[in-house]
Structure 1
């Protein structure tokens, strides 16, 4: 037997692909997901380009007509060059005219909706403890560098900050600031960021999303600051007197007055200006967009900025991805595929239910609760029944009507924000999706106890209607079962069958689960990659889902007449094939809750008994994990 199978199954299966695959100049990686995205993009860009060139070919869908209008405005570079920075000067001047924090405190609702990097971010999202309503959440904003981890490597920190400073200076000079003003703004921004970074969430903290739910009653909220009246701002934002607020990061808010002290105001104001200036650059000229992309390219090691046509497609999808996705799914998603996938899901739910009922480390009480949860899981395949109502308010105002890209985008963002605010203390129709049908992805929503599988991911190499069923189980089957497993990972397991944050575990069972979670952390932690080591704690939830999902998909595949384990193992290794640019790979290790793809592929297989038996893996092989070190949660 080929020794490579036993030492690195991922490399063995993907050997030829890894030798020949090339990362596109404007991408940070290439792999199964990216290849599918490129194919999908080619199809959809072709349609959009055709609609742009021939308006009579546009489908009879008002939202697609608005899509094409916005897309066409981006392609009109002559008009964008003519306008220059003009569309955003009034917007940015409101920051330039700020004199103190009191003006921010007293700013109107629209100010708190439209600007980035205000002293705290406001949003209306689900109440973890009551899934039937939405509440106010307040949180920090982002740092200049991608995460707190990036600041720990001094050489990388200095390299990226140098790129950022040079980029910002070029933009400030273009905007009209002189050399001295630009240098001062940049220096102040860096100094404030250096303080700010000490209080934001680390990637590991952000990954433990249940711990971010810190519900405070109205009378507790203003205790975090002597200088800011949080409640006054929040009430104005919501349009009524709020009764409670969830504090995303208490460390940040306990130090709020230290961060946003009057002596720091000028430094904060300069970074506020820069952050908002940067947020507007994609709506201006191509030259400005090219300059403003330098930092992002340095962060991910991308070599080339997206072409005008590609950018127009990307930017329009920022607002119209759902309407375009609905068109795609209804035109290209087959009913036969949907029925087949529903059959696979039914099998995997049966397997999961059986594995839970036969579990040897949970009490009968906890098993009953777990089965109740899986019995209420909802699966949404292809595309949603309905889309959110704010899309009907997306009316593009063309250049001839006095509109421009920025004012249109601002209006769209306002409509989205106002819709979300209108949901305060209300429920939302659970048929809405958080992802376009034209997205190569899937997700589990713990509050809705719901799983979504967009039409776009239900294609080769994840799925093909007429191939061996085991190959489909090793691809889309493992992805579906992965999402089922999220209902029982370290985060999802804390929500009950109704999506409520509720401890349905006995104390003993919870303790045993945490022991097994630690074993998963140990199984992955410090595994070497070309660009650094895996962080087992950061990636634990996704690793739990991978391990449980793969085992479930394998058992379900055995229920089919054409079961072939080798086809399943091969399919699993194939869907994770990828190559990353250095910057992107390093950022993934710092911040991504998913392990690098090669690690995902090989560790799951090495942890599996049937894989070891099929390929006669022994202690002399690198794919070997001793039986006592193999982890089984679900």
Structure 2
């Protein structure tokens, strides 16, 4: 599926630095029909009186609260500063917080699973998932064998690159590389047709850069990083066997090549617009965009039949790609392809290649002091290669059916609260409300894990070939994906693995998705009172549902089609309200020593709308739950009311610290605002927060009427 429109709750904590930087993707692994709506009271998720909750351990540790900071001045500091001070960022990470700690726990569980699978792989059933995962993990952990192999696994590809002589050779090489799941310059995948979302079509998208965005190739503030990147390219080529003097020349050529490609690429803000994600053309018309690149031959090489056409999503990029095929010297193309062949393979090669890649993408770009231990790096490869297969073993080991049932109750109650908010909007016409409710009616929540698991029978894994195993999985997953082209869209397929600590909304199938790994504290607590669960997973549910009505999601109907369902006047009112949210986040400068480094309110708009809508919806759902349990509504736990605890848990979810270089990188590439701002951004717009903490006009957490944002 096209991943650019899957809208996760947070930037994936397991995201590889190289993938973040390059705009490339590892082949990641990508429910149920909603149950009838339950009463709000049932969503207490076994809510216990204060005494019982204390017996099971506190669901919110008030010792973490820094009472020297006023909640109405800095709510993030009030809730999280003591925890952050006591929990420094580990040396093998660029950030550390609630998401990361939970993801670390998930990793440890996965580690136990793959370690056991590796020990028992030889005796496991032949061809079983357990055997394949065991051999894949074992081959990666056999460091001595990987080091002995050195550059040898990549030599066949490098020899092909050395043999390229003409533009026709380049095209043939690109076609062949793609056919093995190895993308070059651009990406190709399946995805729902924006105009007929019930069917899957092919999408080609811009890619091919080694730096995070196009701005890194031209802006003065990135000049030093460009020098370091060229040095990294040269060293990578030398490790691959290129002589030092020639490696420097080739590195300069690669930088020039990528700079030209970057000039034709769209920036992250531009890529958020649906019109820049979809440009449907016939194969014949696509050939007019790229007269030197024949798309029919490309599709034939992939074994894909394209009928009416496909999406050349960024035509300007592909026109430049075609121009470079014809005009850029083949030697420069070889340098570019040679470098990326080695760079892409580096995580699966010997230690010197892995260290070299980490030195640039980890240390230089993101400020990470130490590389992750080998088992974590290999586990990342297992997740990229067989993530859903590992997810099944994860679910079997840790996920309880009761958790799925309780989460379903919360989903129903929060969704119902969203419906009521839409119906009661004072700025939207009845005509547009009817369309919004029609979309709401077609939401498909998916909880925990897929109803139907993928088959892995066509993937061959060996016990002693790490690089070969990763490449075989890339090939297998690529063909699994593109085989969907021309087929009906499967709304029940997942775009995240169950072991991922995250959640997401996909506008082209109108689904909200909550993997098993996020259904635990601090998001979801079986011993927690209503406030804890609605301030955690309830707000997450509201966040994902609100994505259906953010600046992007609002441009898709309930069937997933990119259609306008708004009156002109309502759309104008909506955009006026969202503009105020853009202005709010543009003002934030979150890095202490970088006062000029501001959040990009336009880039983060969708997530900020979802935070604001989601928190409001979850708060409403909490009030409905408390009406069913007045005694709980009146009681305080550890001195805090249910309303106060609701906001406490919201802020706790976003607690964390981040290294400066990583923070700067995220400001340029991440559609999510920094975590500490998410803790305060939405509450500062809510009268319910001010009332809960008795804030007064003029307090920093209280936005005045002219600047207060109300959307959903």
Give the TM-score of the pair, scaled to structure 2: 0.84
Which residue of 2 is the match for residue 617 of structure 1? 695
Alignment of 1:220-369 (within 5 A): 220-240=285-305, 242-297=307-362, 298-369=364-435
Tell me the secondary structure at the aligned position of residue 529 of structure 1: coil
The answer to which of 241-250 and 314-323 deviates more is: 241-250
Q: Give me the whole-angstrom Cα distance separating, in 1, the residues matched to 2:290 and 2:510.
A: 37
Which residue of 2 is the match for residue 473 of structure 1? 534
- Given candidates 152, 174, 183, the residue that maps to 2:239 is 174
* Post-superposition offset of 1:107: 4.5
Tell me the secondary structure at the aligned position of residue 393 of structure 1: coil
Which residue of 2 is the match for residue 100 of structure 1? 166
The C-alpha deviation readout for 1:72-129, integer Å capped at 9, x for no partner, is 1112122222222111100221112111221123448532334756354332222111
Q: Give me the whole-angstrom Cα distance separating, in 1, the residues matched to 2:147 and 2:77.
A: 49
Q: Give me the whole-angstrom Cα distance separating, in 2, the residues matched to 1:425 and 1:115.
A: 19
Which residue of 1 is the match for residue 255 of structure 2? 190
- CA-atom RMSD in angstroms: 2.2
The answer to which of 527-536 and 544-553 deviates more is: 527-536
Which residue of 2 is the match for residue 30 of structure 1? 96
* Post-superposition offset of 1:251: 2.5
Which residue of 2 is the match for residue 62 of structure 1? 128
Which residue of 2 is the match for residue 207 of structure 1? 272
Is the contact made by 1:188 and 1:271 (CA closer than 8 Å) also made in structure 2?
yes
Which residue of 1 is the match for residue 40 of structure 2? none
* Post-superposition offset of 1:54: 5.0
* Post-superposition offset of 1:490: 1.0
Q: Give me the whole-angstrom Cα distance separating, in 1, the residues matched to 2:208 and 2:176.
A: 21
Q: Give me the whole-angstrom Cα distance separating, in 2, the residues matched to 1:60 and 1:115.
A: 25
Tell me the secondary structure at the aligned position of residue 70 of structure 2: helix
* Post-superposition offset of 1:363: 1.8
Which residue of 1 is the match for residue 35 of structure 2? none
Which residue of 1 is the match for residue 711 of structure 2? 633
* Post-superposition offset of 1:29: 0.4
Which residue of 2 is the match for residue 420 of structure 1? 481
Which residue of 1 is the match for residue 602 of structure 2? 537
Q: Give me the whole-angstrom Cα distance separating, in 2, the residues matched to 1:343 and 1:573.
A: 23
Gaps of 5+ in 1: none
Does residue 558 in structure 1 map to residue 623 in structure 2?
yes
Higher relative contact order, chain-length normalized (CA < 8 Å, sep 6+)? 2
Does residue 218 in structure 1 map to residue 280 in structure 2?
no
Does residue 603 in structure 1 map to residue 668 in structure 2?
no
Does residue 86 in structure 1 map to residue 181 in structure 2?
no
The answer to which of 415-424 and 367-376 deviates more is: 415-424
Is the contact made by 1:473 and 1:554 (CA closer than 8 Å) also made in structure 2?
yes
Tell me the secondary structure at the aligned position of residue 452 of structure 1: strand
* Post-superposition offset of 1:438: 0.4
Gaps of 5+ in 2: 1-66, 634-641
Tell me the secondary structure at the aligned position of residue 209 of structure 2: coil
- Given candidates 431, 446, 453, the residue that maps to 1:380 is 446
Give the TM-score of the pair, scaled to structure 1: 0.94
Which structure shows the higher helix fraction? 1
The C-alpha deviation readout for 1:292-345, integer Å capped at 9, x for no partner, is 221111111111112222222222222122112122123212222222221211
Q: Give the direction of change, closer, same or farther, for the CA distance of 1:419–1:321 in structure 2 (3 Å limit).
A: closer
Q: Give me the whole-angstrom Cα distance separating, in 2, the residues matched to 1:46 and 1:95.
A: 41
Tell me the secondary structure at the aligned position of residue 5 of structure 1: coil
